[in-house]
Structure formats: C-alpha cells, structure tokens
Chain A
Amino acid sequence: NAGVTQTPKFRVLKTGQSMTLLCAQDMNHEYMYWYRQDPGMGLRLIHYSVGEGTTAKGEVPDGYNVSRLKKQNFLLGLESAAPSQTSVYFCASSYVRYEQYFGPGTRLTVT
C-alpha cells in the first residue's frame, strides 16, 4: 500500500496564479484533510471531508477550495495564489475519528 500520496512535492507560483494539489489514499478511509504548516504554528486545518461528495471548512479556509469527487482523492485548489499562502501543505486521511495518516507534504512558494 502506498498510504497517502501527494502531488506535486514542490511548486513555485507567481501571485495570482492558480493550482490544484492532489491527495490520494489507498486505505479506504472515509475522512480526509488538508493542513498547512507554517514555522512555529504547528499544523492548521484548512478543509476536510467526511465522505465522498462532502467537504467542510476548517480553521483557515479562506483562499482555498476543495473537492472530494472520489473517495480516494481529495483536491485542494488555490484560485488566486498570494504570498501568504507560501507554506508546506499536508494531506491526511483517517478511519472516522481515529489517528490520521499523513502524506509527505507539498512545499509551495508564492512569489
């Protein structure tokens, strides 16, 4: 099993550009999450999904959109990137409320 995978691993964007981060899991987990990690702030939840076709806002949702069209995939979109969105993004999945399994992260730089 690959677990949780993220594409791409690195990306540099110019302000105003858009992009989509892809998360895939092969553990048949219902719940999936997107976090951002900034220095000194731990991980903060952006959006999450409790099942195919559902999404919900987390702690810091502004500037991001998500979609869960298939159970195994969770997409994070940035429609108009801003320098404040420079961060490391982590996807995670879990079986309901148990521990979360994380992907390797995506380092995004917005110039």
Chain B
Amino acid sequence: AQTVTQSQPEMSVQEAETVTLSCTYDTSESDYYLFWYKQPPSRQMILVIRQEAYKQQNATENRFSVNFQKAAKSFSLKISDSQLGDAAMYFCAYRDNDMRFGAGTRLTVKP
C-alpha cells in the first residue's frame, strides 16, 4: 500500500519569511497525482496545490510552489512571504486509484 510520510509534525516561520514543508511517499506506480491541502482551525480542507507525476515542471500557485523529485519520491511545499493566514495544518496527499494522506505538519506563523 502506498504510504505518505510527513517528517515534521510542527514547523514555525516568521511572517514574510519562507518555509518548506517536507513530504515523501512510497509507490510502485508511475502515473499518480500529489496534492498539498491546508486545514485551518475552521477544519475545512482546502486544496493548495496539485502536481501530476508525468509533469517534470514543478507546480506553482502564487506564493506556494513545490519541489517534486520523482526518483526520490519527494514532494515538498515551499511557502514564500509567509502570512499570518498561512497558519494551519498542512497535509500531503498521494493519489492513484485511492488517496492517502500524511499525518500533517502544523505550521505556526510568528508576527
């Protein structure tokens, strides 16, 4: 079964600085999708960014970008110019036929 590992239970960043959240996954598939979701205190799961495994180019969405290393099975999320509203739990997720989530990283943003 595919597994998703987020090795950082908690991370902290100063407002306006950059932070990188790590994620690794295990799979024997070649065709899959990877996602980062944000869960603020409201509990709502919000899609941050998506990466298709067949695309070599790293996905970007405004201040959010990923470093996708397919051979290393690594999918990190970089948040630039961190804002107070970025404080949340961040979940990495892997999908081929089903979806697997990592345990999450709690991000704190210090003013």
Contacts and interface: CB of A to CB of B under 8 A. Distances in A.
Interface of A: 33, 40-45, 48, 58-59, 88, 90, 92, 97-102, 104-105
Given A43-B101, A99-B47, 7 more contacts: A42-B103, A43-B91, A99-B33, A101-B47, A102-B37, A102-B44, A102-B45
Given A97-B95, A97-B97, A99-B35, A41 B103 contact: yes
B64 to A, nearest CB: 14
A99 B44 contact: no
Interface in B19-64: 33, 35, 37, 42-45, 47, 50
B104 A99 contact: no
B84 interface: no
B92 to A, nearest CB: 9
Interface residues of B, number: 23
Given A45-B98, A97-B95, A99-B35, A105 B43 contact: yes
Contact of A98 (B33, B42, B45): B33
Which 8 residue pairs of A and B lie closest in terms of their CB atoms, listed nearest first?
A102-B45, A42-B101, A43-B101, A42-B103, A105-B43, A99-B47, A99-B50, A42-B104
A104 B99 contact: no
A104 B98 contact: no
27 contacts: A33-B99, A40-B9, A40-B103, A40-B104, A41-B103, A42-B91, A42-B103, A43-B45, A43-B91, A43-B101, A45-B98, A45-B99, A48-B98, A58-B98, A88-B43, A97-B33, A97-B95, A97-B96, A97-B97, A98-B33, A99-B35, A99-B50, A101-B47, A102-B37, A104-B42, A104-B44, A105-B43
Contacts of B104: 40, 42
Nearest to B4: A42
